[in-house]
Amino acid sequence: MDGFSWIVLSPIKQEIFLSLVGMLLLLVGAFRGKTSVGFIVTAVVVAACGAIAGILSGDWTPIDTLSGMLIVDGFSEWMKVLILSGIVVSLLLSVSWLRENNLLKFEYPILVLFSGVGMLFMVSANNLLSLYVSLELSSLCLYVLAAINRDHLLSSEAGLKYFILGALSSGLLLFGISLVYGYSGTLSYVGISSFLETAESMPYGIMVGMIFMLAGLAFKISAVPFHMWTPDVYHGAPTPVTALFAIVPKVAAFGLIIRLLVGPFAMLAQESAQIIMVISVGSMLVGAFAGLVQNNIKRLLAYSSIANMGYAMLGLLPNVPEGIAGTIIYLTIYMVMVAGVFGILMSLKRNGQSIETISDFAGLSKTSPFMAYAMTALLFSMSGIPPMAGFFGKFFVFQAAIAGGYMVVAVIGVLTSVVAAYYYLRLIKVMFFDESAGNVDENTSLSRHFVTVGALVFVLIFTLLPNHLLQRAIEAATSLFS
């Protein structure tokens, strides 16, 4: 056994740093109470930014550590930057909203931070045990966050629903893990994959274990048929928490799934592709169709995210680096777009109430034209209209799916994206052509504007840099296969 030298811990120094910061800030909060909230938020944001800088400046030759519990490589680098940026962005978005709605508790940023740490571990997990504990760490924080508006009926209901169903999904995941462990005799990714490589006959036990595990994980990315919680939780949770849910955890869960599929279960690629295909097609269909009749913007975004997860999964079908690269680019773009949309959503108020329904957007182009145009650009991007970024995301995953021979799935994807375009365009129509239902207050918060404008710029100029980004993404994805 190796001792805890710096060599062992250095690959995960960002995570250790963030956990220590989190505990320290917890102490600060506990002693100083409400007065320290501003400081804590700032500290969390700064620490996360520091961690991003540390990750970007690091060397990402694949290395496993802590007895093979964790692995860091180019892929985890990409995902970690994504997760931490998501954390930072969601905090920037939420602070002033929470303050206005009297929800800002010092635990909020700390819980966000800890869930972030859990997610960072998730994308580095190299062992079923570390997979499970890191997943639980991040999920537990999210359960609490969903219910953080404890005096609000919808919010606590959302938290409870999320918690119960999450526990069920964890049960499925654990059952799958135990099946895999039982039939392969090991928990480590490397061990499982080498066991599968040398297996003499079809390893049905591990296969079913994998199905259970994927079912448990599909819950986390709200893929059909494990998506039922999503609209209710998105609707019930306070908007900043919804933004967090939409932006970050899915990316982390995707990282986990990708590593599972190309690592331990690489030999079961055919079977896993069948599962991914079913849930991807289901997600695209449900996300596109069920969104049509929604009137609440947050529910709409929930269905939109379900559909988007379906698209992102298309890239996983062929199990090749190009496909994975397509998926992670898709996730990156999706994250930015959603951040922008939530930035706008939280900036708008009508009669002192946050905008909730689609009809609240009526006539926005007249009352706050910048917001309306920014929203339009983002929605165009989400419906995949070139030259916005969203088009490229879809293009890459569809391309990967078609190259892998999944023509039918890709065609379904294109058709559902047409259906989904309806609800994005309807919002635009409401903003520009409907009679205004009264004044909309635009409350300005510098950080929120920063996020919105940043997302807008990214969406608009993405068309200039897709090749560069794709190259980086392929490098990241290739690191998984080495």
Partner 1 sequence: MIGVLAFYAFAVVLIVSSLLVITARNPVHSVLFLILAFFNAAGLFVLLGAEFVAMILVIVYVGAVAVLFLFVVMMLDIDFSKLRNGAKQFAPLGGFVGLALLAELIMLYQVWPNPPPLLEPDVLDVDNTKALGNVLYTQYVFPFQVSGLILLVAMIGAIVLTLRTRGGVLRQRVGAQVERSEADSVEIQNVSVGTGVSNV
Partner 2 sequence: MILGYIAVFAPLVAFLLAGILGRKCGDKFSQFVTCTAVLMAAAASVQLFFTVILGSNPHTLPVMTWISSGNFNVDWALRVDQLSVIMMCVINIVSSCVHIYSIGYMSHDESKSRFMAYLSLFTFAMLMLVSADNILQLFFGWEGVGLASYLLIGFWYHKDSATAASIKAFVVNRVGDLGLLLGIFTTFIVFGTIQFDGIFNAVTDHTADRFDFFGYQIHALTLICVLLFVGAVGKSAQLGLHTWLPDAMEGPTPVSALIHAATMVTAGVFLVSRFSPVFEYAPDALMIVCVFGAFTAFVAATIGMTQFDIKRVIAYSTMSQLGYMFFALGVSAYSAAMFHLVTHAFFKALLFLGAGSVIHAMSDEQDMRKMGGIWKKIPVTYAMMWIGSLALAGVPFFAGYYSKDLILESDWASDSPVGHFAYYMGIAAALMTAFYSWRLIIMTFHGKPRADHHTMDHVHESPLVMIVPLLVLAVGAIFSGSVLYGGFAGIPHQKTVESKATEIDEIESEMKEATQDQMEHIIKSESADAIHETVWNKEAFFGKSIVVLPEHDSVAKAHHVEKWVKLLPTIVGAVGIFLAYLAYMFIPSIPAAMVRIFKPLHILFFRKWFFDELYHIVFVKTAAALGTFLWKRGDGQVIDGLGPNGVAALSQKVSTVLSKFQTGFVFQYAFMMMIGLMVLVTWVAHAMGLFDLIPQFLNMR
| Cα–Cα distance, 5 to 22 (Å, whole number) | 23
Cβ proximity of 138 and 119 under 8 Å:
yes
- Which is nearer to partner 1, 180 or 312 (by Cβ)? 180
Packed helices 74-100 and 249-262: angle between N→C axes, nearest 10 degrees: 160
- Which is nearer to partner 1, 204 or 433 (by Cβ)? 204
Tokens 């969903």 belong to residue:
146
What's the Cα-to-Cα distance from 226 to each of 133, 215, 279, 342, 452, rounded to whole Å? 21, 7, 9, 24, 31
42 contact, one of partner 2, partner 1, none, CB 5-8 Å limit per kind: none
- Its sign, for the CA torsion 9, 128, 263, 260, is negative
Strands annotated E in 33-168: 63-65, 70-72
Supply the minimum distance, in Å, between the C-beta of residue 405 and partner 1.
28
Cβ proximity of 188 and 162 under 8 Å:
no
Which range of residues in 110-118, 240-248, 292-300, 462-470 is near partner 2 by CB under 8 A?
Answer: 292-300
Supply the minimum distance, in Å, between the C-beta of residue 396 and partner 1.
34
Supply the minimum distance, in Å, between the C-beta of residue 202 and partner 2.
7
Q: Tokens standing for 141?
A: 């924080």
Binding to partner 2 by CB under 8 A, coded x per residue (else -) over 414-443, reads -----x--x---------------------
- Which is nearer to partner 1, 103 or 375 (by Cβ)? 103
202 binds partner 2 (CB under 8 A): yes
- Which is nearer to partner 2, 80 or 299 (by Cβ)? 299
53 contact, one of partner 1, partner 2, none, CB 5-8 Å limit per kind: none
165 contact, one of partner 2, partner 1, none, CB 5-8 Å limit per kind: partner 2
- Which is nearer to partner 1, 118 or 231 (by Cβ)? 118
137 contact, one of partner 2, partner 1, none, CB 5-8 Å limit per kind: partner 1
| Cα–Cα distance, 313 to 328 (Å, whole number) | 10
- Which is nearer to partner 2, 154 or 437 (by Cβ)? 154
- Which is nearer to partner 1, 111 or 431 (by Cβ)? 111
Contacts of 169 (CB under 8 A, 6+ apart): 215, 216, 217, 219, 220, 226
- Which is nearer to partner 1, 45 or 144 (by Cβ)? 144
CA 61 to chain CA centroid, Å, is 25
Of 232, 26, 25, 22, the closest CA to residue 138 belongs to 22
| Cα–Cα distance, 340 to 348 (Å, whole number) | 13
Of 287, 275, 276, the closest CA to residue 315 belongs to 276
Strands annotated E in 93-179: none
Supply the minimum distance, in Å, between the C-beta of residue 16 and partner 1.
10
360 binds partner 2 (CB under 8 A): no
Q: Tokens standing for 325?
A: 């690269």
What's the Cα-to-Cα distance from 80 to each of 84, 142, 157, 291, rounded to whole Å? 6, 18, 31, 31
220 binds partner 2 (CB under 8 A): no
208 binds partner 2 (CB under 8 A): yes
**DSSP assigned state of 465:** S
Which range of residues in 125-133, 202-210, 355-363, 424-432 is near partner 2 by CB under 8 A?
Answer: 202-210
| Cα–Cα distance, 119 to 256 (Å, whole number) | 9
318 binds partner 2 (CB under 8 A): no
Supply the minimum distance, in Å, between the C-beta of residue 230 and partner 1.
21
Interacting residues toward partner 1 by CB under 8 A: 1, 4, 19, 23, 26, 66-67, 69-70, 105, 107, 110-111, 114, 117-118, 121, 129-130, 132-134, 136-137, 140-141, 143-144, 147-148, 150, 159, 182-185, 195, 203-205, 208
CA 284 to chain CA centroid, Å, is 17
One of 270, 444, 467, 482 touching partner 2 (CB under 8 A): 270
| Cα–Cα distance, 311 to 416 (Å, whole number) | 10
Cβ proximity of 206 and 186 under 8 Å:
no
Name which of residues 138 to 197 contact partner 2 (CB under 8 A). 160-161, 164-165, 168-169, 172
- Which is nearer to partner 1, 159 or 236 (by Cβ)? 159
End-to-end CA distance of the chain: 26
Residues forming the site for partner 2 (CB under 8 A): 160-161, 164-165, 168-169, 172, 202, 204, 207-208, 211-212, 214-215, 219, 224-226, 228-229, 231-232, 270-271, 274-275, 278-279, 286, 289-294, 419, 422
